[in-house]
Amino acid sequence: MPEGPSLRKFHQLVAPFVGQLVVTVGGNSKKINPNMLEMLRLQDSQVHGKNLYLNFGLNEDLGLSDSFLLPKHLQKEVKLPKEISNHKLESTSSTSGLDGQEVPASSSTIKALELGEEEKEPLNEPWWLNTSQNSGPWLCFHFGMFGSVRASEYSRATKPNKKGDWKDPLPRLVLHFAKGFLAFYNCRIYWCLGPMVKPSSDILSEEFDRRQALEALKQANPVCYTLLDQRFFAGLGNIIKNEVLYLAKIHPLSLGSCLSALNLESLLDHVVSFSAGWLQKKLEGKPQHHLIYQKEQCPAGHQVMKDSFGSPNGFQRPTWWCPHCQPKVTPEEPNEVQATKEELP
């Protein structure tokens, strides 16, 4: 599924529409009622980790009362308990499991996302915050394997389906504005209280907290589990995990507690520089070539190993590593691997 750099690109596509009124809507979402977005204004957009958040507000320009503009089912305001309305940025991502591994609401959800379907759950009604707080509801988008956002263009079929038909993908949601539209594909959409991830845990945020991330990496857990922990590395997905472990010459199952401070600092440097470099390429429309992810040989020509690793509470994710370039460090044989600060190719 799209990782942090892709989400930043989606955010860039959405940004020009912020401030505009949603004129009509479309899409096949069964989880939310797209019609309730008509005549609401897209007020804000934010990206945190692997989620995109859109904030909607009333169209005050028309001089009509709030209740007139709101669809019927939205006209009754939801009074939120104080502790809920205050917690917005305090809690961890709603898609984080007990240990922060990415765990969508149900196992059927991830299956549905992989299949490009929307999970069968009851219609999700918005949290309509008290309008006096000047904050409308937020829609959260969590993208599946082939999830994407298109601005003023639809996604086209790139290959025929099993029946040989060239069927274009169907957007989950389309927001039409006075000029142009946004189409959202293969994503789970739900109403929420607002962005639920602290910028300090977002690998692409200027506020990314390296000290906190380092503390997490130091624990006696395999580093490949910790890297996917969205509480400390929001936006870091399976591609970034594989690539930065190769760049830092660290075996995926090495326990963080067995690695030197220098190795962990090097790994963190690669997380930040690789993610920023990938984002830069995305913004320039250039492809990101992988060094180890889905490869049979590493750049040095060694045979690459592949297996599925994941914490007991999270998903098992395919992992590629080179046993020569990334030797395993065991508790019995602490061995400092050579830290690198190579530039990305």
Residues that bind Zn ion (CB under 5 A): 298, 300, 302, 322, 324-325
Q: What angle do CA 45, 48, 49 make, to 5 degrees?
A: 145
Query: Contact 339/265 with Cβ under 8 angstroms?
Result: yes
80 three-class SS: coil
Angstrom distances, CA of residue 39 to CA of 35, 56, 178, 292: 9, 10, 11, 48
50 is a catalytic site residue: yes
Q: What angle do CA 298, 303, 307 make, to 5 degrees?
A: 95
- The catalytic position among 2, 5, 104, 137 is 2
CB of 207 to Zn ion, least distance (A): 35
CB of 146 to Zn ion, least distance (A): 30
Query: Contact 240/317 with Cβ under 8 angstroms?
Result: no
CB of 201 to Zn ion, least distance (A): 31
Q: Where are the alpha helices (DSSP H) in the chain?
A: 4-14, 66-69, 82-87, 107-115, 210-217, 223-227, 238-247, 261-284
Name the residue nearer to Zn ion (CB basis): 192 or 344: 344
Which candidate, 106, 151, 102, 140, places its Cα nearest to that of 3? Answer: 102
Name the residue nearer to Zn ion (CB basis): 173 or 298: 298
- The catalytic position among 3, 102, 118, 243 is 3
Name the residue nearer to Zn ion (CB basis): 193 or 250: 250
- The catalytic position among 31, 172, 241, 317 is 317
Name the residue nearer to Zn ion (CB basis): 28 or 303: 303
CB of 287 to Zn ion, least distance (A): 22
CB of 34 to Zn ion, least distance (A): 49
Angstrom distances, CA of residue 5 to CA of 51, 59, 204, 248, 293: 11, 32, 8, 20, 16
68 three-class SS: helix
- The catalytic position among 8, 50, 150, 241 is 50
Which candidate, 167, 143, 170, 142, places its Cα nearest to that of 157? Answer: 167
Token readout for 5 is 């750099």
Name the residue nearer to Zn ion (CB basis): 306 or 324: 324
Give the separation between CA 271 and CA 227, rounded to whole angstroms. 9
Give the separation between CA 76 and CA 60, rounded to whole angstroms. 18
Residue pointed to by tokens 């984080």: 96
Give the separation between CA 139 and CA 6, rounded to whole angstroms. 18
CB of 328 to Zn ion, least distance (A): 14
3 is a catalytic site residue: yes
CB of 258 to Zn ion, least distance (A): 21
Name the residue nearer to Zn ion (CB basis): 220 or 300: 300
Name the residue nearer to Zn ion (CB basis): 19 or 318: 318
Active site (catalytic) residues: 2-3, 50, 317
